[in-house]
Amino acid sequence: MVSKNESGKRNTEKASRIRGFELELNKEKLTRIDRLVKNYEQKVSSRLDEEYETSTKLSDRIADKVAAFGGSWTFIIIFGLFLFLWILINTLPFAFLHFDSKPFILLNLLLSFIAAFQAPIIMMSQNRQAARDKHEAIIDFAINYKAEQETDDMHTHLHQMEAEIKEIKQMLITMQQSGGEKTEEN
């Protein structure tokens, strides 16, 4: 009877082979592959960052940073604390500074001002991101199309090879049959 450890070892041995090839992938090779993939991803990411820095204007980068901060938990927490302190300072009776009494008209004006400027900035950033995503989708499509063409070419080549192998087999069979007939005649 096979123990669980032995069957686990067999499964990891099977998993460490590349299907269709007789290549063994030990931990060292897997680590190397992971390192190569990570290195490649870092190069691509840094190249995209460089391209972004050179192709966008300063105002666009500022809008992107404002949008990133405006859509973060840091902004929500800081802004929540700001609102809480504003209301607390203006409602506590023992607070010495009441600059915006209930119904907090100045606070409403400030919130409207922030919303009026933050929303278009976020939309500009989203439009730029949509254009960037569209550009990347076009590149992905081109890569996928090229890969599909190469796959079709390989299929065509394989079919030609199969036809040639069939032809060779047929020739061998006829040669064997004709060679067999000659040996029977002698």
Domain ranges of the chain: 25-55
The model's pTM: 0.52
Higher pLDDT, 53 or 18: 53
Query: Given a cut of 90, is residue 100 above it in pLDDT?
Result: no
Cα separation values, 16 from 22, 26, 34, 64, 153, Å: 10, 7, 14, 44, 30
Task: Please give the DSSP secondary-structure letter assigned to residue 100.
Answer: S
Q: What confidence score (pLDDT) does residue 26 get?
A: 78
**What's the gap between Cα 61 and its chain centre?**
22
Residue 11 is predicted with a pLDDT of: 47
What are 40-72's pLDDT values in tens digits? 888 877 887 787 778 888 888 888 888 889 889
pLDDT band at 183 (very low <50, low <70, confident <90, very high): low
Confidence of residue 181 (pLDDT cuts 50, 70, 90): low
Instruction: For the beta carbon of residue 99, count every other beta carbon within 10 angstroms.
Output: 8
Whether 97 contacts 80, CB under 8 Å: no
**C-alpha distance from residue 148 to each of 36, 47, 142, 143, 166 (Å):** 25, 26, 10, 9, 27
